[in-house]
Chain A
């Protein structure tokens, strides 16, 4: 059973460009969570999605950031008009149930904004 997949593993963007980060949850998992890790910090919750629904986006910046988890295909975290402060590692996690006792993490995408 393949784990949580994230791609790309590394992404370099210039200021003002768009970044698209993809996450494929584990097979059978319909709950996806995105976390951001700024340099030398812990992971911070951004958004929680189920298929075709955003359940909790309380950790998402109000502007430039959006997330989706379509019926088919991976979950996408999109950052428009990136700025240097968006440079971070972005982790996706998945679980089979909302109340499951663990989330399974992908390897992360390291975004560097030049």
Chain B
């Protein structure tokens, strides 16, 4: 069975600074997707970034980038130039490409951006 671990329950960062959120996972699958979702107080799940496991190149979306280490089963999210609107819960998620296609979520990291 797959598991996703986020070891940082809470983090804070100064506005305009850079912060990295950690995520590790365990799986025996060879092909899968990894995601970072943002959940603001509205509770809407917002996709931040997605990584295909078969791609070695790290995904990037504007100020958001990942460090994907497949052998180490690590998938960290880096937020550059942090903005107040980045304050939210961040969830790491795993999706296998076979089986029943359900997301496995981590327990989340609460990020607070300080003015």
Contacts and interface: CB of A to CB of B under 8 A. Distances in A.
Contacts of A58: 100
A43 B91 contact: yes
Interface in A47-90: 48, 55-56, 58-59, 89
Given A42-B108, A43-B91, A102-B50, A110 B43 contact: yes
A44 B97 contact: no
Nearest to B37: A105
Interface residues of B, number: 22
Contact of B100 (A41, A56, A89): A56
Contacts of B95: 101-103
Contacts of A101: 33, 50, 52, 95, 97
Interface in B87-115: 91, 95, 97-98, 100-108
Interface range on chain A (Cβ under 8 Å from partner): 20 to 34
Interface of B: 33, 35, 42-45, 47, 50, 52, 91, 95, 97-98, 100-108
Nearest to A103: B103
A11 interface: no
20 contacts: A31-B101, A33-B101, A33-B102, A33-B103, A37-B43, A42-B108, A43-B103, A45-B103, A48-B100, A93-B103, A95-B101, A98-B101, A99-B98, A101-B95, A102-B47, A102-B50, A103-B95, A105-B44, A105-B45, A107-B43
